[in-house]
Copies of this chain bind each other. A is one copy, B any other.
Amino acid sequence: LSASLVAVDWGTSSLRAARLGDGGQVLEERSAPRGILTVAPGEFPSVLQSLCGDWRDGGTPTLVSGMAGSRQGWQEAAYCACPAGADDLAGKLSWVEPGRTAIVPGLSCEHAGVPDVMRGEETQVFGALALLGRRDARIVLPGTHSKWVQVRAGRVESFATSMTGEVYALLRTHSILARMMPAEDAALDETAFLQGVSQAQAVGSLLATAFSARTLALFERMPAAALPSYLSGLVIGEELRAQAAVADGEVVIVAAPALAERYAMALRARGQRSVRLGAEATWRGLWQLACTGRIS
């Protein structure tokens, strides 16, 4: 099988690539622990070549999404201002190796004078729309900095960033709450997680709920092993309180399975339906943008 596109997801902490066939199907995947933070300026072409140079020989074009397009990456790619569709992104590719390798631009939007940005998630959004065959959706891409995206008529109308994963990690590791918790997370305690979601919903501010992860342990109302799950529920519950309320209906979750399951559980507890997609959204998104930009 000959490849039509080398699809690359180059993030802060990892580098993943897929060889896509004529219809966009994934023929092969590879990855390396070569996130952009590990790559010196000027070494991006050789790092990419060492991961998948064999796929690229013979002129197969390469399309890259993610933080490789940031100021600290290969080359700073533009931001497309919302509302933006796949045609806007495909029309603003940064050709870091002319005719051979391009980087997908990020998206920017603005709410009352405050800008917001994403890089990499825009590709997953268009992949999710293609996979689901939709032109309207409320999509969440959970993570260190979760993105909540509103899509109407095939275009990203607006989005908002929630620092959920990063705040969880800070509280879990560096705050006074960490002292009560085991060093390693056990499997998710669903009861404790949902108690956190419910508490977040009832109180309405993470600053006001977080201390309860200490006092519940202090008063022996919750075992130490359940505290990380409870805190996760507090933080994800706070995110949903602020963001998911906008979505009357279904939320599309694009994340790795374990994280997607937490969001689905929390949404269910709020009476909201969800659909889940994983890594396939990235490859499909790169394929969609390559087709739209006629580069494969």
Contacts and interface: CB of A to CB of B under 8 A. Distances in A.
Interface of A: 112-117, 145, 160-164, 166-167, 170-171, 174-176, 199, 202-208, 210-212, 215-216, 218-219, 221, 235, 238-239, 241-243
Number of copies of chain A assembled together: 2
A215 B115 contact: yes
8 contacts: A116-B215, A162-B207, A162-B211, A167-B171, A167-B207, A205-B205, A205-B239, A207-B235
A175 B202 CA distance: 27
B115 A218 contact: yes
B163 A116 contact: no
Contacts of A242: 203-205, 207-208
Contacts of A114: 199, 212, 215-216
B175 A221 contact: no
A114 B195 CA distance: 11
A208 B162 contact: yes
Contacts of A238: 205, 207
A115 B207 contact: no
List of 7 A-B pairs having minimum Cβ-Cβ separation, nearest first: A205-B242, A161-B211, A170-B170, A162-B207, A115-B215, A114-B212, A115-B219
A231 to B, nearest CB: 12
Given A170-B175, A207-B235, A112 B202 contact: yes
Contact of A241 (B117, B166, B205): B205
Chain B CB count within 10 A is highest, among A114, A175, A216, for A114
B174 A170 contact: yes
B116 A210 contact: no
A221 to B, nearest CB: 7
Contact of A167 (B210, B218, B241, B243): B210
